[in-house]
Structure 1
C-alpha cells in the first residue's frame, strides 16, 4: 500500500463507505480534500452558496436516502453557518456527517485565524463531535462517524480536520464497505404483551414518527394497521410514514392539526407510539398527552433506550426499530380487529372531512389550489416544506406516499425548503420535487437557486408572499392585537429574481392561474419559481388576521 495524504484518505474512505454525493462551500482549510476529489468523480461535490444551505442539503439527503448526508465546510464562520443544519439533523433524527476544516495542530489554542473548538461548539447538538489529529486514524474516525450517525436514534456527527493533518501522509487500509448497523430486536414476551393489550382495546391509536423508516418498514406498518384495524396518526412532519391514501391513515399531529383528530386521541383507550419521541409539537405543548403519567395507557416503542421513559412513563416500553417490531408483531394473530372497524372508519372520515377546504378567501384560494395539486402530483413526488404558517396548506391538503417523501424541518428552521428541494432533485432527478417556502424563508437561502442552476437540478419552488413573517404576526395579533412590530417585510419581485438566475419565474395572483403555472414549471426542464401573491389576511387554513385580532380584543375587554 502506498502512503496517501490525509485529504486523499478522507475521500477514499467516504467512497468506500458508499458516499456518492457531498455538499460543500470551498475553503482553504481543506484544500487537500477538494484536490483529492478530482481523482474520485464517483464522489460528486456540489458547490453551494452558503454553508447553511449546504448543511440543509446534506440533512435533506440523509432524510431521503437513509444514509448519512455529507457536508464539508471551512473553519470558524463556515462552521457557524453550518450549525443550523446540524441542529436540524439532531432534532429531526437525520443521519449526517459534517466535516470542518480546522487550524493547524501547532496553532491550536492560540485563537488562530477562524479557530473554534468544535468539540465544545457542537457537543450539545451532535451525537459525536471530534477532531482527527492523526491521518493514519482517518478510516477509524470516519467509520465510527458513519456508524454513530445511523445507530440508535440517527443524528449528526461533526469531525474537525486540522489542515496540516490533511497534508500529512500515512499508510492506511480503506474499509470494505459501510458498517453493519445493529438494530435492537424486541423481546418476544413484550411483543405478546403488546398484542394482548392491543387486542383488548376498543379505541386504540397508533402514533408514528421519528427517523429510520425504510420503505419496507412503512409497507409493514400499512399491513399491520389494516390487519389489526388500528388508525394511525403521524407526528409532526412525518406524514410520509403511512401512505395518506391508506384507509387507516388518520392525519398528522402537527401545527394547526385537525380538531377532530385531537378529540379522537383524547378518546383513545390505548396509545401505541412507534418511533416518535412525543415532542412538544406532536403533543400540542405536552397538553394532548400529559407527562409524566399519561391518563391513557401508553405503549412506547423506540430504537433508542434513552428515549423510553425520558418524558413519559409508559405502561410498556420496548426498545426496537420500527421494522423489527412490526416484523415480530406480524407473526401473531391479530385480535379484536372486527370490533375496531367502526372506530377506524370514523377516524378516517374525520381526516377526509378535514381535506375539504372552506370557503374561498380572496382572489387566490389556496385550499382549492392545493386540493388540485394533491391530485396532480405523482405518487412518488417529493415535497419540501419550510417553517411558517403557509406550510399548513401542504400539511392539510396534500397527501404523502412512499416512495414519495415529505422533507421538512421538525425543529422549525426557516430557510430549509429551498436547499432541501435542490438536494432532492439532485439525488432523485427523475421525480417531481415541489418546494413550499414563505417570503421570509426564501430570502434566507434562496440564493441556492444558483446551486440548482449550476447542478442542473429542476425543483419547482412555490414562494408564499404575504409581505410579513406570518407566524410571528399571528402570535402578535393573538397576544398584542393591533400592535405590529418587526414583522412587516419589503420583498423583491420573486419571479423577476428567479429569471435573473436563469430559472423560470412566474407570478400567480388568482386561483385560475395556479394550475397552468404548475404545469409550465413542471415542464420547464430547469428550476422554476412561482410567486403566490397571498392576501395577508389569510393567515392560516382556518382563520384570518382580522378574526384573530377581534377574538383577542374581545378576550381583553
Structure 2
C-alpha cells in the first residue's frame, strides 16, 4: 500500500538499488533535484558528466559490461535532446538503457512552456511518464523489464519535476526474474544431428554470449565439436583471437575473400546475434532471405527469428542456456576429418590477415597503433573504439586475449568513446583501458577528459590526428574526386589540451614514437593522451586516397 511520507524520489532510488543499479551517469539539472538529493546518501556512484550525450554513451557502455540496463539522468527537453544520440545508439545496438528525464512541472505539460517537449519518443523502445506517486515502483520495474527483455533497447521515463517530492509512493520494486525457455528435446536432437553430419559448420557468436559463462561455453563447444567461430560486429573478444577455433570478426570491413570462405559453410549456428545488417554485411552472410546453407538461429526474442532469413531451426531462448545444452549433449560420435581442415583453414586466413608488415614509407597509420598495442599488451586490454574507418586497423591487427575486450556500438556514432571510457575504467581496472578515437570524434566529446581527470581514472586516449574527417573524405573522393569540402579540420595541440585538463600529454609522428609513447602512457598511473600524426591518404588497410 502507498505510504503518505514515502516520496517518489526516495522510492525511485530504492527501486533502482533493488534492480542492482550501482552507478548512474548524469548532467545535473534543476528539473530532477529531489532525485539527486535522494541519491546523496545512497550507495550508488553518481558520475557527473560534461554532456548528456556522453552520459548516455557511458550508461550504454556500462550496460555492455554488466549485462544490465545502464542508467542515465538528464534534465528536460534540451538535456533529453542531447541524450538522443545515445538513445538512438542503444536502439541500434540492442543494448538495455534506462533514461530518467526530469520534465517540466505537471501544470506546464502540453502548454509550450520553457524547455518543454519529448524529443526521444521516436527512437526509444518505450516512453513512460510517471504522474501518480502510487505507481513509482511499478514504473521503474516496467522500465527495466522492457529495456532488458526480448531485443534489449532504450526506455525513457519522464517525471514532472513537481512529482519527485510528492508522498504516497508505492513500495520499491525489484527486478523480475524469469525462467528459461526450454526447447523440445526432439528439436534439440535435430540440431545435434545437423551438427554431427556437417562437414563445414560455422558458429556465429553474438553479444548475448558476452558473459563469463557464455564465453567459457563458447570455447568448450568450439573445441569439442571442432567448430570455427566467427563473432558478430564489435564482439571480436568473445573468443581468444589466438585460439585455433577463432575464424574472424564480421564488421563493415570484412573482406570478400574471407566472406567467400564463410559462404562455403554447410551449416551456420547463429547463437546470440540478431543477424543484423552490419554483422551480415547487409544480408551478404548468411545470405538473406534464402541462406546458402542450413541456418540455426538462437536469440531470446522470437520476433527476430526468421525476420530476414529463412531458418532451418529457430530457438527463442537464452543463447547461453542453448550452448549449455549443446555441451551436455556431447560431441558427435566421430568428427569428420574434413572438419579439422575446415577449422584450421579459416584460422590460418585470419592469422595471415593479422600479420603486421610495416609500410616502406615513413607514413604513420593507425596500423602502427594497433600493432604496438598488440605487442605491448598481448591482447590483455580493453579497447574502446569510436567511429571511423580507422577501426578496421584495430579489427585486423590487434588480437584480443581471453581477458581482453572490444567496446563499440553498431551505430558507429562519433563521440561515443570518451564517455564510454568513464564507464569502462570506473567498472574494472584488471587490464588497461585504451580509447582509440579520431580527431573529429574526440573534438565532439573530448570534454569528458575533464571527468576522467577528476576521477583520476587510468585511461589512455590515443587520438588519430590527420586533421580530417577521414571517413567522409574517403567517400567524397570516390564520388566527387578532388572536390573535398567541410572535411578538413584545424585541430588544437592535443597533448597541451590534455595537460590543461590534468592528464599526461604525449605526441608521436613516427612508428618508434608510437611504441615508446604508448608504453609510457600505459605505465602512467592516471589519465594520459597520445596524439599520433597519422596519414590522410592511407585511411584503412584496404583503401587509400
Match of residue 543 from structure 2:
543
What is the DSSP-based 3-state SS (H/G/I as helix, E as strand, rest coil) of the residue aligned with 1:240? helix
Alpha-carbon distance in structure 2 between the residues aligned to 1:368 and 1:431: 21
Determine the C-alpha separation between the residues in 1 that align with 2:354 and 2:379: 17
Q: Which residue of 1 aligns with 2:206?
A: 209
Once residues 277 and 362 of structure 1 are traced to their aligned partners in structure 2, the CA distance between those partners, rounded to angstroms, is 42
1:451-493 Cα shifts (integer Å, max 9, x gaps): 1111221210110111111111112222222221221111111
Q: What is the total number of aligned residue pairs between the two structures? A: 540
Aligned to 1:84: 85
Q: 2:197 maps to which residue? A: 200
- The within-5 A match list for 1:342-381 is 342-360=341-359, 361-364=361-364, 366-377=366-377, 380-381=380-381
Cα distance, 1:228–1:68 mapped onto 2, change above 3 Å: same
Residue 251 of structure 1 corresponds to 248
248, 262, 287: which is aligned to 1:265? 262
Q: Deviations over 1:150-198 (max 9, x none)?
A: 22222221111111110211253223x5331444333322221111112
Mapped to 2, the partners of 1:15 and 1:519 lie a distance apart of 40
Q: What is the rounded CA distance, in whole Å, between the counterparts of 2:122 and 2:321 in structure 1? A: 30
Q: 1:145 aligned to 143, 146, 150, which one?
A: 143
Contact 1:436 / 1:464 at 8 angstroms: preserved in 2?
A: yes
Corresponding residue for residue 548 of structure 1: none
Alpha-carbon contact 2:288-2:309 (below 8 Å) kept: yes
Q: CA RMSD in A?
A: 1.8
Aligned partner (choices 123, 126, 133) of residue 124 of structure 2: 126
For structure 1, the 5+ residue unaligned runs are: 546-557
Partner SS state of residue 100, structure 2: strand
Cα shift at 1:134: 1.3
| Separation in 1, partners of 2:528, 2:60 | 22
Looking at structure 2, the residues matched to 465 and 474 of structure 1 have their Cα atoms a distance apart, in angstroms, of: 16
- Is residue 378–residue 432 contact of structure 1 (8 Å, CA) maintained in 2? no
Q: Give the corresponding residue for 2:164.
A: 166
Select between 104-113 and 343-352 the one with higher mean Cα deviation.
104-113
- Tell me what 1:57 maps to: 58
Q: Residue 171 and residue 89 in structure 1: after superposition, are their counterparts in 2 closer, same or farther (change >3 A)?
A: closer
Q: Which residue is 2:106 aligned to?
A: 105
Partners of 2:69 and 2:97 within 8 A in 1: yes
Aligned to 1:552: none
| Deviation of the 1:220 alpha carbon | 0.2
Contact kept in structure 2, 1:365 and 1:510, CA below 8 Å: no
TM-score, structure 1 normalization? 0.93
- Name the SS of the counterpart of 2:159 in structure 1: strand
Q: CA deviation at 1:2?
A: 6.9
Aligned-partner SS, 1:164: coil
Residue 274 of structure 1 aligns with which residue? Answer: 271
Quote the offset at 1:365 in angstroms. 5.1
Give 5+ residue unaligned stretches, structure 2: none
- Cα distance in 2 for partners of 1:346, 1:384 equals 30
The answer (yes or no) to whether the contact 1:425–1:431 under 8 Å persists in 2 is no
Pick closer, same or farther for the CA change 1:534–1:275 going to 2, 3 Å.
same
Q: Which residue of 2 aligns with 1:479?
A: 479
Q: Separation in 1 of the partners of 2:86 and 2:53?
A: 6
Note the 1:170-185 alignment, pairs <5 A.
170-175=168-173, 177-185=174-182
* TM-aligned CA deviation for residue 312 of structure 1: 1.1
The answer to whether the Cα contact below 8 Å between 2:76 and 2:101 also exists between their aligned partners in 1 is yes
1:498 matched residue in structure 2: 498
CA distance in 1, matches of 2:297, 2:304: 9
> 1:21-40 residue pairs with structure 2 within 5 A?
21-40=23-42
Rounded to whole Å, the distance in 2 between the matches of 1:353 and 1:378 is 17
Question: Bigger shift: 258-267 or 30-39?
Answer: 258-267
State the SS of the aligned residue for 1:246. Answer: coil
Question: How far 1:5 moved relative to its partner?
Answer: 2.2
Q: 1:485 to 1:182 in 2, by over 3 A?
A: farther
Aligned 1:2-17 pairs, distance under 5 A = 3-17=5-19
Q: Which runs of 4+ in 1 moved over 6 A?
A: none
